[in-house]
Amino acid sequence: MMHAARPDSRPPRHARFATLRAYYQRWLDRRLPPAQQWQLRHQQLFILPTRLGLLYLLLVLALFLLGTNYQNNLILALAFLLASLFVTVLGHCYRNLAGLRLTLLPPEPGFVGEASRLALRLESERPRYALQIRCADATGEELASSTESTTLGVLFQPTRRGWLTPGRLHLGSDYPLGLLHCWSSLAVDHRWLIYPRPLAWTPTLHPGPGEPAASDGASRAAEPSAAAGRQTQHSVASELAGLQPYRPGESLSRIAWKQVAQGRGWHSKAFAGQPQQGLWLRLQMTPGQQTEERLGYLTHAVLQLEQRGITYGLALGRNQLAPGQGAAHKEQALMRLALYVG
C-alpha cells in the first residue's frame, strides 16, 4: 500500500535566513540605537578573524597536532608562539578603535545625480591606523592613519528625489596584521533632502489665482537675464509708493540703500500697483512627458528666477507656495518639488 509523501512543514531556507536577519537587526537596534555622536567602547565594538586569520588559526592547529603526534617540542613551541602572536594582535586590533569619538557632519541637501558626502569627524588622543568606512549603496573611504581630529565619510549618488536615509555605517579596521577585523555598525539619526535634477528650461510665469489671464507679452517665456528680471518687476510696479520694514529674503534690489547708509535702519521699497498674487510657476503648464521631467524643469526655473531676483510662486496642483524671494523661499520651493507626490 502506497502512502502519500508528507509535505515538508519547515519554512524554506531563504525564509529562515530572512528571519535570522530580522532578529539580528532588532538586536542591533537595541544595542546600537540611532545617534549623531558616539564614543566607541566594548558594547559598540565587534571583532572576528578575517579569511587570512582563519587560515592562520588552521596553520597553528596543524602545527599543534603535528608536534603532539610526533612529540616534537620545537614544533609545539612554534605553534604556541604563533598562538600568542594571534592573541597579541587581538588586543591591538581592539585598542585601535576603542575610545574613538565620532561626530556626524550632516550633509547639505543635494540634487539627483550629484555626489552627496556623509562624513564623520574622528577625534582621539592617540593615532589610529587603517580605518575604513562603508555603507550600502555608497562609496566608502579609507584612512591610512588619523591625527587628533580628522574626517572620514561615504559618498552617495542619489538616483531618486525625496528624503535620503542612509543605512548603517560600517566603521572598521584590520590593523595591525590583517588577521582580525574590528568594527562598529553605526545607525545615523539623520536624513536629508534630495531635490530633482535641474533640467535646462526657459521658465514661463503664469498669473496667480484670481488674476486675469496674461497677455501675449506677459505669457511669453521669461528670458534668463537680469534685464528680463527688471522688466518683469517694473512692468507691475512703476511708481514708488513708500518704504516698508525690510523682510529677510527680499531682493537686494528693493532695499532702500540710502536710508541704510544714513543709519535709519533697514527698509524696502514699496511700489504702487504691486500685485498681491505675483507670478506663478505651474506644474500642469510645464512641458514634459513625465512628472519627473517636469519637476526637473521647475527646479531649474526656481534656481534661475531666484538668481535673477524675480518674485515667483509655485503651484503643484493643490500644493501652492505663495510668491516670494530669498533663500528661505527657494528652500521651501525646492522642498515641495522634492516631496511632490502626483
d(CA 195, CA 113): 10
Q: Residue 23: inside a domain, yes or no?
A: no
CA-nearest of 256, 275, 258 to 267 is 256
More confident of the two residues 256 and 10:
256
Q: Based on the fold, state whether residues 156 and 39 are members of the same structural domain.
A: yes
d(CA 305, CA 203): 8
How sure is the predictor about 146, in pLDDT bands with cuts at 50, 70 and 90? confident
Q: Residue 279: inside a domain, yes or no?
A: yes
Q: Output the pLDDT for position 259.
A: 72
| Number of domains into which the chain is organized | 2
54-67 confidence digits (pLDDT tens): 999 999 999 999 99
Q: Based on the fold, state whether residues 294 and 150 are members of the same structural domain.
A: no
* Residue whose C-alpha cell reads 580605518 in the numeric block: 131
Domain around 331 = 206-211+221-237+275-338
Q: Based on the fold, state whether residues 48 and 188 are members of the same structural domain.
A: yes
Strands 149-156 and 312-316: what pairing?
unpaired
At 84, list the grid cell.
600568542
What are the helix and strand counts (H, E) for the chain? Answer: 8, 19
Q: Based on the fold, state whether residues 289 and 329 are members of the same structural domain.
A: yes
Q: Based on the fold, state whether residues 69 and 116 are members of the same structural domain.
A: yes
Q: Based on the fold, state whether residues 297 and 182 are members of the same structural domain.
A: no
CA-nearest of 144, 131, 130 to 170 is 131
Q: Residue 1: inside a domain, yes or no?
A: no
Q: Output the pLDDT for position 225.
A: 38
Contact 113, 159 (CB under 8 A): yes
CA-nearest of 128, 127, 152, 155 to 142 is 152
Q: Based on the fold, state whether residues 191 and 286 are members of the same structural domain.
A: no
Q: Based on the fold, state whether residues 52 and 120 are members of the same structural domain.
A: yes
Q: Output the pLDDT for position 215.
A: 34
How sure is the predictor about 223, in pLDDT bands with cuts at 50, 70 and 90? very low
Contact 199, 300 (CB under 8 A): yes
Q: Residue 261: inside a domain, yes or no?
A: no
More confident of the two residues 207 and 130:
130
90-130 confidence digits (pLDDT tens): 999 999 999 999 999 989 999 999 999 999 999 999 999 99
> DSSP character for 45?
-
Alpha-carbon distance values, 37 to 122, 145, 167, 269, 294 (Å): 10, 21, 16, 47, 39
278-307 core/surface letters (b: 16 or more CB in 10 A; e: else): bbbbbbeebeeeeebbbbbbbbbbbbbbbe
Q: Which residues pair with 188 in a beta bridge?
A: 35
Q: Residue 298: inside a domain, yes or no?
A: yes
Q: Based on the fold, state whether residues 157 and 232 are members of the same structural domain.
A: no
